[in-house]
Amino acid sequence: MMESWSFLDTDESNFRPLVVIELAKGTKEETIEWFTKRIMDKKAHGGAQLLIKPLITENGVENTYLVGASHLRLLLGAETVGLVKECSDNSMRTFTYSSRKTFKHFADDNHNFLTMAECQYIIKHELENLRAKNEKMIPGYPQAKLYPGKSIVRRLLTSGILVQIFPLHDREELKKLRHSWYGRVKVGYQPLDDIRCYFGETIALYFGFLEYFTFALIPMAVIGIPYYVFAWEDYDKYVMFATFNLLWSTVILEVWKRICAILTYRWGTLLMKRQFEEPRPGFHGVLGINPVTGREEPVYSSIKRQLRIYLVSLPFVCLCLYFSLYVMMIYFDLEQWALDYHKENESNFSTLMLYVPSIIYAVVIEIMNRIYRYAAEFLTSWENHRLESSYQNHLILKVLVFNFLNCFASLFYIAFVLFDMKLLRQSLATLLITSQILNQFAESLLPYWLQKRYKRRMKKRKCSQKTDTDLSLAEQVNMEKEMGTYLGTFDDYLELFLQFGYVSLFSCVYPLAAVFAVLNNITEIYSDALKMCRVYRRPFAEPTANIGVWQLAFETMSVISVVTNCILIGMSPQVDALFPDSKVDLVLTVALVEHLLLAIKFIMAFVIPDKPRDIQTKLSKLEFESLEALKQQVRAFKMQLHFLSIHH
């Protein structure tokens, strides 16, 4: 990777801008010079060996730079990041430069072998792995300390010199994608492979999950409709619906794992080796020796972190939970007040007023969720986790616990303390529908509208009537610089998670929830797609092999819903009537059924294999081949040694 790279073409004639780097206004000349030099320097000299060009607009140079790389450099980078691509024999293999000829669609002059998202991911990886050598600080900024091995880009980001790095949109490709994704009204699957090519695996997997989940809810919705239409209230029909729901939710979660394996195998991420995780950008500590790498880098005592978690974060979360319950009690007071008002002066207005407390409460819940989200992010960041994965897990745990209680506490209270099924149904419907409307609005329509307005103003000011594709590069970059940042799939999954809760926790009381969920998800696909394509800056592709901790979260929800549904059925008057003599028998029967259902769930999860058989075969084939290759390599190495010892 050193000498052999000296012949890399740094020919700028076919420079294709891939990534934009925006430096702060007034960044010192010497810093810029040093930084661009490090980016362009040869690998052998510790550089990134990329191409970089300042963006020249009408107003001159604007501290914005375009980064690209030669085709060869990208191929070598693909090897470094461990990309997995399809071979000519249809198997998936880790790409190496030396075996490049065996890959499908590879040709030395085919610059589309790597997708643009992959190229941008490679450049991001190379930039982040540009490390300080002997620099003690960033030239020109003595307060921005460096130590050997520290990622330069991360330090530039944390010290505010680097404003942002983002990948450029490809106007042509985006237009094509938009058209096939949501351009025409059609019934059919999303172009997941195209989404993956353009936005990367994490986002494509989210849309895959959203689509799968919507399809999976359809049977529930279809079975749920007649319950509502004919107002079925029979005992056996309810039990059947709930039982079907509970087992169905296990099946869909298990089957998703298989579909996920199929998708990520096709995309190569199922086989990608986990890269060694570097400290996350915000991590700080005193310089010490990392026991794992043996390198000098900031270390932070684990005990201190534990203290922060258990003495500050945990009490804070508990306080928030208490506050959420307090708000809930206020809601019940309001509800009571509305009911009293309705009783006193009965009118159309008062009937409408009955729904007002629920709607207000739903709005308050959404607001509290969002405020808490910021607090949780701040706290988790303050806990100073070394790895991004650990940070994410702590954040997700905090957010999930709060959101779960915040959204469902009132429903639990109505169901199991007030025993008011009518109110439960009404409350559930109001909460679900209000939160869906709010989400759709806050997530995509609002930003879209804001951005439209901004664009219109921009255009007015410049008096130009160009369409998107006609924009010059400089105009495109400047426009994208102003777009919002997509903060990852967290909120999208969280929304689905809460929706799953509304649908499954009390499914036997309100079978129509699944119908609303399906309707919401269909528009959600469109609005999320719109958001990705129109509202936000293009995000960097993130290879991923599964939906991670969300799988666990959904499975936990499905276990909790077994418990709640069994209790709800046990409480229904129809079931009560079946055990006229003894309430004890009723409770015992319900408990028995619940345990049986849980047992069946666990057995089903155990019996259904996580990966389809053909994927399993392909994986073992690869494992076998790599073992064989290792043997061959050892053998070749020994032969070589032998050969050398003979000839000397």
**Contacting residues toward a copy of itself, per CB under 8 A:** 1-4, 79, 96, 98, 275-276, 291-294, 302, 563, 583-584, 587-588, 591, 595, 613, 617, 620-621, 623-624, 627, 631, 634-635, 638-639, 641-642
Smallest gap from Cβ 81 to a copy of itself, in A, equals: 12
Q: What are the residues whose beta carbons fall under 8 Å from the beta carbon of 231, sequence distance 6 or more?
A: none
Considering the complex, state which of residue 177 and residue 253 has its C-beta at the smaller distance from a copy of itself. Answer: 253
Whether 273 contacts 82, CB under 8 Å: yes
End-to-end CA, the chain: 28
Considering the complex, state which of residue 312 and residue 588 has its C-beta at the smaller distance from a copy of itself. Answer: 588
Whether 516 contacts 436, CB under 8 Å: yes
Query: In b/e form, how buried is each residue of 7-45, taking b as 16+ CB within 10 angstroms?
Result: ebeeeeeebbbbbbbbbeeebeeebbebbbebbeeebee
Calpha distance 271→93 (Å, rounded): 8
Smallest gap from Cβ 276 to a copy of itself, in A, equals: 5
Considering the complex, state which of residue 482 and residue 576 has its C-beta at the smaller distance from a copy of itself. Answer: 576
Alpha helices in 54-191 (DSSP H): 71-81, 116-128, 152-158, 171-178
Smallest gap from Cβ 572 to a copy of itself, in A, equals: 16
Considering the complex, state which of residue 53 and residue 638 has its C-beta at the smaller distance from a copy of itself. Answer: 638
Smallest gap from Cβ 120 to a copy of itself, in A, equals: 23
Instruction: Taking the CA atoms of 305, 309, 310 and 315 in sequence, report the sign of the dihedral they define.
Output: positive
Considering the complex, state which of residue 472 and residue 633 has its C-beta at the smaller distance from a copy of itself. Answer: 633
Considering the complex, state which of residue 169 and residue 385 has its C-beta at the smaller distance from a copy of itself. Answer: 385
Considering the complex, state which of residue 422 and residue 613 has its C-beta at the smaller distance from a copy of itself. Answer: 613
Q: What share of the chain is helix, strand, coil (3-state, %, to 5)?
A: 65, 10, 25
Instruction: Taking the CA atoms of 212, 215, 220 and 225 in sequence, report the sign of the dihedral they define.
Output: positive
CA nearest to 332, candidates 435, 432, 417? 417
Considering the complex, state which of residue 189 and residue 624 has its C-beta at the smaller distance from a copy of itself. Answer: 624
Smallest gap from Cβ 384 to a copy of itself, in A, equals: 17
Smallest gap from Cβ 387 to a copy of itself, in A, equals: 10
Considering the complex, state which of residue 143 and residue 302 has its C-beta at the smaller distance from a copy of itself. Answer: 302
Q: Which DSSP string corresponds to 418-458?
A: I--HHHHHHHHHHHHHHHHHHHHIIIIIHHHHHHHHHHHHH
Calpha distance 598→509 (Å, rounded): 20
Whether 68 contacts 4, CB under 8 Å: no
Instruction: Write out the two tokens for 233.
Output: 């209230």
Considering the complex, state which of residue 354 and residue 571 has its C-beta at the smaller distance from a copy of itself. Answer: 571
Q: What are the residues whose beta carbons fall under 8 Å from the beta carbon of 405, sequence distance 6 or more?
A: 321, 324, 325
Instruction: Write out the two tokens for 103.
Output: 């890959």
Smallest gap from Cβ 6 to a copy of itself, in A, equals: 9
Considering the complex, state which of residue 96 and residue 159 has its C-beta at the smaller distance from a copy of itself. Answer: 96
CA nearest to 420, candidates 429, 411, 408? 411
CA 292 to chain centre: 29
Smallest gap from Cβ 613 to a copy of itself, in A, equals: 8
Smallest gap from Cβ 591 to a copy of itself, in A, equals: 5
Q: ∠ at Cα 330 (324, 333), nearest 5°?
A: 150
Smallest gap from Cβ 582 to a copy of itself, in A, equals: 8
Instruction: Write out the two tokens for 454.
Output: 């901004």
Considering the complex, state which of residue 111 and residue 635 has its C-beta at the smaller distance from a copy of itself. Answer: 635
Dihedral class, residue 323 (left if φ above 0, else alpha if ψ from -120 to 50, else beta): alpha
Considering the complex, state which of residue 327 and residue 567 has its C-beta at the smaller distance from a copy of itself. Answer: 567
CA torsion 192-196-197-201 (nearest 10°) is -160
Calpha distance 538→484 (Å, rounded): 9
CA torsion 54-56-61-65 (nearest 10°) is -30
Considering the complex, state which of residue 107 and residue 592 has its C-beta at the smaller distance from a copy of itself. Answer: 592
Smallest gap from Cβ 511 to a copy of itself, in A, equals: 25
The interaxial angle of helices 192-199 and 235-267, nearest 10 deg, is 50
Smallest gap from Cβ 223 to a copy of itself, in A, equals: 28
Smallest gap from Cβ 642 to a copy of itself, in A, equals: 4
Smallest gap from Cβ 626 to a copy of itself, in A, equals: 10
